[in-house]
Amino acid sequence: MFPSHRPRRLRTTPAMRRLVSETTIRPRQLVLPVFVKEGATSPVEISSMPGVHHHTRDSLRRAAEEAVRAGVGGLMLFGVPQRRDAVGSGAVDPDGVLNAALADLRSELGDSTVLMADTCLDEFTDHGHCGVLAADGTVDNDATLEVYAEMAVAQARAGAHALGPSGMMDGQIGVLRSALDEAGFTDTSLIAYSAKYASAFFGPFRDAVESQLSGDRKTYQQDPGNGREALREVVLDLAEGADAVMVKPALAYLDVLRAVAEISDVPVAAYQVSGEYSMVEAAARNGWIDRDRAILETLTSIRRAGADVVLTYWATEVAGWLDRD
């Protein structure tokens, strides 16, 4: 009449549940993406991402210091320039907004955290694509790689510990590794955005970087319906020298994240992107969900699927909760 197995015994008290918990989140596993805007005189909240700001160089320093004090594992920097052109020249300018901000933070924080830089042109081009355009308006893969190589060296020289080439150009990891090594930056890591999908969940991010994009990025970002293709991209990036691989977005691609984690012999990251962040914030503001529980549940799902590192706009806040708990 009665069950012979009672799994509920392991759920009876908070202490028991804590003892047998299979998946944990620690502050060191979280990375905070941050936006620094050229010419900004004060931090301004991004309308589609409540709680996330366009920073000045000074307010960026304060946000970075707060994250480091909270134990966050790293920072991913994105730059928002005042001027853009067809080839994204601001990306390679040592005095450009992103490189200047990297230098600020490396000077301020040293090696106390991992400074990561977005190595992509979309923030810096007047057409909003992640690369240089050919005469027919398509993205020229190989011409883009030449700019990426220059951008990578500029970011490493500015102080980045790790680079995140997110443009999904074929061969980008191999080209960047060669360029960094030739310039003497053999210790600068490459976090390959191996599985980056052409996702609707990037919408608020376009506001964050004031994207000039018209059209879409489907010729270089992956089709949301493809899983095997992601594994092929991972294998290629590993062969080219990636130090870590990434799946982006995270929540809609947990199956891909699990498959990547099973074949990768380097750390696996996942990016909880702007749309995922904003959905939770919007639902919470309407009283439809418990905000804090939803945040932790989503982060736990990403970790459970296999992510060693999670990029999330809640990194500093969640790190404070974890230390408190």
Catalytic residue list: 196, 248
Q: Distance (Å, rounded) from C-alpha 272 to C-alpha 253?
A: 10
Q: Which tokens sit at 221? A: 């970002």
Q: Sign of torsion, CA 200 152 104 267?
A: positive
Helix (H) or strand (E) holding 269: strand 268-271
Residue 133: DSSP 8-state: B
How far apart CA 185 and CA 189 sit, in angstroms, is: 9
Q: What is the DSSP string of 56-75?
A: PHHHHHHHHHHHHHHT--EE
Phi, psi for residue 251 in degrees, rounded to 5: -65, -40
Q: Which helix (H) or strand (E) holds 162?
A: strand 162-164
**How far apart (Å, rounded) are the C-alpha atoms in residues 302 and 269?**
9
CA distance readout (Å), 250 to 26, 275, 287 = 18, 11, 24
Phi, psi of 22 (to 5 degrees): -85, -30
C-alpha 35/C-alpha 52 separation (Å) is 9
CA trace torsion 73, 294, 283, 198 (10° rounding): 60
